[in-house]
Structure 1
């Protein structure tokens, strides 16, 4: 497996990485993995959606020597000078900083654009100006818009359905232009409904997986938008970590200025997901009473069905998902049961 070989190479030849959004769900998991591989890591976050407790958790998961390889900058990618400072002497950037959530972007498109477009262009430009070797960033399956084709193939997208989708598509356009104009090596990862440890279950824009698990554990109502037959390619965090590290280290020139589906390659309805979560929780907490789900209106801007073709990532990056929805869900439920008690 290519990923295992790359991890061995990194242990023998450490790089200097910058993770933007390092205090967030995905960013903190990337940080933990890289520190365990004895890499030097700079982290940048403004704590708008990230949390100090995620960094504290990473510190508890690595050795003291590994933690000394981490330096943190509190700042915002919407400020170019901050980006310029963060990009000094960096080999690889994993840009996770963004304001996620389709509903958030519909509620406030200006703020989403400031972070996801202006901020993205700032960090991309600063990376180029500072001679960074590779720039990997979080794109999104939302760029497929109203396309009904399943599974989703990178080269064919539909009409965009939200301001958030627009911002991510603009990121991909900038990636292509920077490669043509400057030869700058960047790779986009179109995340498909990522879930796993440290994903925040709280707030108005919480993702469905942690929100439902938290609600069930706390005896609260679980709300399903629409008829529950909406489907998604739920992708466990470990698969996303693998894709980022592979993209950050690949020498395959065919991968540069490309966007890759980052998913498990499966599809599950919300109704089936709810049943899987409740069954998984009952196995661990048989005494827990679980309420019936409450159905409400469809949510504006949501794609009806989502399922990724991951052949391109397999062929050009060597990507091989290690976790299915089922195995990821087992690990996630165990993590939330343990950590929501704290």
Structure 2
């Protein structure tokens, strides 16, 4: 099988590329390396340095998609807070990028399009766990853009007859996660602070809760979504652990001094209802955050 992974030099995309290569597939990666890293590249995959948001590159994208079976669209400028600071930059990359990839996929006869969506589409909600049937309420440019991508996938499935499925990720962590900078998540930030013997910085009182999902479980969900006969009509599927913990509890398990900052504009809690993923993809998570942290600290010699 020939697979194309956009954003395949990034955190999630590179882990997906490694798994696809290990299964013996022909894997092509489209990445402009804005946030992707050269050290994440797999020697057995072919890389194409292309900005998918630029219309001038459509013909080049189409060449990469020639005889492609499935596109995994992982490329995006990620994270909520940077999108609030740079909404136009994020809009150009995230919304135009998916539209270009969908149109090129249709034109080149790609069978299926698997989209990396986001649980941020749920926004602030008191109704937990979140089900795919719940009304979206995006409260940031990033969340709005990722939700727009879902709508595009559903529309393209109906209008252009391409199989699509959107996977709503919940707070992904694991190998190759960013440990610092604008694209780092709280797990990466805390680990980086621990490594550098700095206090763990918590925004707000730390009672906010998150459903953390291991990157290996996200990869398996993508591969199942590409192969399942139960999806392909624009379905939206939660990919989470089905359990959440507070930021205070996360900090306690990572260890170290804690300091508190002003709260950010973000949902107080999230939690995935993963029944749909189990039913349609025969998928369920295999790794819990606390066990992963213990193993990570052990391998890095951290206390």
SS for the counterpart of 2:229 is coil
Check 1:195–1:139 CA distance in 2 against 1; reply closer, same or farther (3 A cut): same
Cα RMSD of the aligned pairs, angstroms, is 1.6
Check 1:18–1:332 CA distance in 2 against 1; reply closer, same or farther (3 A cut): farther
Q: Does 1:190 align with 2:155?
A: no
Output the CA distance in 2 between the equivalents of 1:89 and 1:332: 40
Unaligned segments of structure 1, at least 5 residues: 1-14, 60-66, 279-289
Output the CA distance in 1 between the equivalents of 2:53 and 2:250: 37
Q: Does 1:28 align with 2:14?
A: yes
Q: Does 1:150 align with 2:128?
A: yes
Aligned to 2:192: 214
SS for the counterpart of 1:113 is helix
The alpha-carbon deviation at position 158 of structure 1 amounts to 4.2
Residue among 264, 279, 290 paired with 1:299: 264
The alpha-carbon deviation at position 334 of structure 1 amounts to 4.8
Residue among 256, 260, 263 paired with 2:237: 260
The alpha-carbon deviation at position 140 of structure 1 amounts to 0.3
Aligned to 2:288: 324
The alpha-carbon deviation at position 320 of structure 1 amounts to 1.8
Deviations 1:197-219 (A, max 9, x none): 01111213411111111111111
Unaligned segments of structure 2, at least 5 residues: none
Aligned to 1:228: 206
Output the CA distance in 2 between the equivalents of 1:110 and 1:84: 26
Deviations 1:30-66 (A, max 9, x none): 01111111111001111111110111xx44xxxxxxx
Output the CA distance in 1 between the equivalents of 2:267 and 2:59: 37
Structure 1 or 2: larger helix share? 1
The alpha-carbon deviation at position 186 of structure 1 amounts to 0.6
Aligned to 1:128: 106
Aligned to 2:277: 313
The alpha-carbon deviation at position 87 of structure 1 amounts to 1.3
Residue among 50, 65, 69 paired with 2:36: 50
TM score, norm. by length of structure 2: 0.95
The alpha-carbon deviation at position 176 of structure 1 amounts to 1.3
Output the CA distance in 1 between the equivalents of 2:62 and 2:235: 24
Output the CA distance in 1 between the equivalents of 2:296 and 2:141: 30
Output the CA distance in 1 between the equivalents of 2:6 and 2:38: 14
Deviations 1:217-258 (A, max 9, x none): 1112221010000100000011101100000111114x5311
Contact 2:79 2:182 in 1 (8 A): no
TM score, norm. by length of structure 1: 0.84
Contact 1:147 1:158 in 2 (8 A): no
Count of residues in correspondence between the two structures: 299
Aligned to 1:95: 73
SS for the counterpart of 1:257 is strand
